[in-house]
Amino acid sequence: MSEALSSRKAPNQCETLAVKLRLPVTMAQPPSLDTSFGQTSSPNVSLSAYEMSSGSDGSYPFTGKVVGYDYEFVPPVDGRYECTICFGVLREPRQTPCGHRFCRDCILKWLRQPQHRCPVDNEHLSDSMLFPDNFAKREIDNFTAKCPNSKQGCDVIETVKRMPSHLKECPLAFVPCPNNCASVLIRRDLADHMHEHCQNRLVHCPDCGQQGKAADFEEHVQSCPHGKVKCEHCGEEVARREIERHRKDFCQKTNIPCMFQALGCEVQVQRDQLDKHIRESLTPHLSMLCQGMVAIMQRIGINRLSTEGVPLSARELTPTEISGFMSSLVQPLQQLSLETRQPQGAPGDSRSLDSSSVVKTSVSMHRSPSDPKYSMLISSGTQEASGFSHTSGASDYGVKMAPASLVGPVSGVESESLKSLHHDEMLVRHKQSLLELQAKTETLERNLKQKMKQYDQQISELEGKMCNGQYYWRIRNYSRYQREAEHGQTTALHSHPFYTSPYGYKLCIRANLNGVDSAKGSHLSLFIHFMQGENDDLLEWPFNGRIVLSVKDQNECCELRNHVAETLSSKPNLAAFQRPTTPRNHKGFGYMEFLPLNVLRNSSYIRNDTLIIKAHVLPNG
């Protein structure tokens, strides 16, 4: 026996036991097997095993709406195999003590009515008096019938037992489009539909590469920012998002105003005609330029420019005139200070400090008007200032001339700048303290998270200790794990550890959602692994006792719940039951074929995407 078991070792060194209790065929295995797995021969288990095999036909969700087989049987089926409730051929036949047969769901539903009588002869009847008629079931399983898709042209004739697997692949079966487009198609045409016609299929936009539903594609093409559109002026094809810029800056045929617009030229020409216009209108443009120049000079009080470029009139500047200039410079300076402050706005920008220091230096320069750099500072201020420095020459002449009078207006600038400096400093300080606080909260948060994690672990550890050997394992996000298992990313899941008692054995459950080895892709595999625990020194090894593994049916209707439970007994010679030498014993013990995956999927074992597995560990003595 044990040799047979060890030959089933999984590649991951697990001692996996394929106990095919669930199939009626193996129910008839030699008694030695039964005794080695404890209660496998108990009526409860045999019933559940029976139920399992019934589910394995893959078409039997426990909805209470399923009725007998509605196939067209060839040759026609004798009336005695028909359920007198649904008139179909018996599915999961149940017999009454008065000798009548019904589909399991039909008779259970009938007995849920107030009357507890046989539907045929009114004999008293209750759920518990029903028993499975496996003789009839086996006969019916071998009846042959036409594929229900024969109307669509499928000429397959199959046994009742194998019909579900044929239907899963029948090329002429009606199937809903998996893209949820509400179409129902013959499976043969499905691929074509999904690639060519489905409104919900994903298509790539050739222009922007984005993916979207085919139904929305037309609309997308009309608005794709990368789609090409024709410029209505020059006819060039430009990406939709570029068209505005194209019109504004590039299109040769768009009308644009002459560059002398600001000086009074009101002509609008196509871009490619602008050069021509400039060439042709030299004279008017020159006169506009001249007028503009004169106007500006008047504005700043210059009557004439000397040929050397030194303003003749500069000598005539009075202190009041200079102060007038200075005050007209205040505005640009303020603007300047605003501009230098702006980069500070960007959080975490290291330059913010530098820029405030720029303001500082600029202020310090203000303070020493005799500094030769003074005029340069002003020139760096604004365009207007540069004009001034130019007219006053590179010399410190203008400054020297009336240092006292400069103090007045400049002090106005200074106070403004000082104010802004003060603001800047404040800002920097706030920023600094903000960063410090942020760092502090982050540390706190990290610590808190660590603590929480620690507590969570302690709580689950405690939970595991207090469960007294009855551990419920909820696998949430079942579908995600199942997918990962199918793709081979995470094939095995382990539960939190739990103890048989506060001072008992430490174990965990392993679930291979997509099965292992020979059960891969067909069954859920469940195993128990022993773990190194605090009490190992106190305990007896190898472990001696029984373990009940079960998958809970979460059907809303309590009567329809079919929990699947299996009991296994420890075998002292197996490595799985020895004292673990690693944190978790590599060798586990359990069932490779605990539950067929199609049963799991088509029933209420999974609700809210959660699978509940229970382990009950009962040490002997």
Q: Does 126 bind another protein (CB under 8 A)?
A: no
Q: By C-beta, is 86 or 231 nearer to another protein?
A: 86
Taking CB under 8 A as the criterion, the residue among 50, 73, 110, 472 binding another protein is: 110
Interacting span for another protein (CB under 8 A) from 113-121, 396-404, 452-460, 464-472: 113-121
Q: How far is the CB of 554 from another protein (least distance, A)?
A: 23
Taking CB under 8 A as the criterion, the residue among 2, 13, 115, 620 binding another protein is: 115
Taking CB under 8 A as the criterion, the residue among 98, 120, 208, 239 binding another protein is: 120
CB atoms within 10 A of CB 484: 16
CA angle 444, 450, 453 (to 5 degrees): 140
Q: Does 445 bind another protein (CB under 8 A)?
A: no
Identify whether the C-beta of residue 346 lies closer than 8 Å to the C-beta of residue 328: no
Q: By C-beta, is 173 or 181 nearer to another protein?
A: 173
Q: How far is the CB of 117 from another protein (least distance, A)?
A: 7
Q: Which residues pair with 512 in a beta bridge?
A: 525
Q: Does 464 bind another protein (CB under 8 A)?
A: no
Task: Determine the Cα–Cα distance for residues 586 and 546; give it in Å rounded to an integer.
Answer: 20
Q: Which residues contact 287 (CB under 8 A, 6 or more apart)?
A: none
Interacting span for another protein (CB under 8 A) from 112-120, 141-149, 164-172, 406-414: 112-120
Which tokens go with 42?
Answer: 């108990």
Using CB under 8 A as the binding rule, the residues of this chain from 46 to 85 that contact another protein are 65-68, 70, 84-85
Q: By C-beta, is 78 or 280 nearer to another protein?
A: 78
Residue type, 491: T
CB atoms within 10 A of CB 422: 10
Site string for another protein, 379-418 (x = CB under 8 A): ----------------------------------------
Instruction: Output b/e per residue, 298-332; b: 16+ Cβ within 10 A.
Output: eeeebeeeeeeebbebbeebeeeebbebbebbeee
Q: By C-beta, is 19 or 118 nearer to another protein?
A: 118
Interacting span for another protein (CB under 8 A) from 104-112, 168-176, 305-313, 437-445: 104-112
Q: How far is the CB of 153 from another protein (least distance, A)?
A: 22
Q: How far is the CB of 110 from another protein (least distance, A)?
A: 5
Q: How far apart are the first and last CA of the chain?
A: 26
Task: Determine the Cα–Cα distance for residues 539 and 424; give it in Å rounded to an integer.
Answer: 72
Q: By C-beta, is 109 or 390 nearer to another protein?
A: 109
Report the candidate in 526, 602, 575 with the shortest Cα–Cα distance to residue 22. Answer: 526
Task: Determine the Cα–Cα distance for residues 25 and 37; give it in Å rounded to an integer.
Answer: 17
Q: How far is CA 315 from CA 312, 375, 397, 536, in A?
A: 7, 17, 10, 105
What H or E segment, with its residue span, contains residue 270? strand 268-270
Q: How far is the CB of 530 from another protein (least distance, A)?
A: 49
Q: How far is the CB of 463 from another protein (least distance, A)?
A: 44
Report the candidate in 92, 88, 89 with the shortest Cα–Cα distance to residue 108. Answer: 92
Q: By C-beta, is 115 or 411 nearer to another protein?
A: 115
Q: Does 229 bind another protein (CB under 8 A)?
A: no
| Residues touching another protein, count (CB under 8 A) | 21
Q: Does 87 bind another protein (CB under 8 A)?
A: yes
User: What is the total residue count of the chain?
Assistant: 621
Q: How far is the CB of 459 from another protein (least distance, A)?
A: 47
Q: Which residues pair with 566 in a beta bridge?
A: 549
CB atoms within 10 A of CB 209: 8
Using CB under 8 A as the binding rule, the residues of this chain from 158 to 187 that contact another protein are none
Q: Which residues pair with 525 in a beta bridge?
A: 512
Report the candidate in 110, 54, 59 with the shortest Cα–Cα distance to residue 85. Answer: 110
Q: How far is the CB of 151 from another protein (least distance, A)?
A: 15
Taking CB under 8 A as the criterion, the residue among 8, 36, 58, 109 binding another protein is: 109
Interacting span for another protein (CB under 8 A) from 118-126, 175-183, 262-270, 492-500: 118-126
Task: Determine the Cα–Cα distance for residues 569 and 39; give it in Å rounded to an integer.
Answer: 8
Q: Does 237 bind another protein (CB under 8 A)?
A: no
Q: By C-beta, is 65 or 279 nearer to another protein?
A: 65
Percent composition of the chain: helix, strand, coil (DSSP 3-state, to 5): 45, 20, 35
Q: Does 88 bind another protein (CB under 8 A)?
A: yes
Taking CB under 8 A as the criterion, the residue among 86, 181, 378, 612 binding another protein is: 86
Q: Does 250 bind another protein (CB under 8 A)?
A: no
Q: Does 596 bind another protein (CB under 8 A)?
A: no
Q: By C-beta, is 88 or 464 nearer to another protein?
A: 88
Identify whether the C-beta of residue 568 lies closer than 8 Å to the C-beta of residue 547: yes
Q: How far is the CB of 173 from another protein (least distance, A)?
A: 18
User: Residue 581, SS3?
Assistant: coil
Which tokens go with 313?
Answer: 């009139």
- HSE-CB for 373 with a 13 A CA cutoff: 11
Residues that bind another protein (CB under 8 A): 65-68, 70, 84-88, 100, 106, 109-110, 113, 115, 117-120, 122
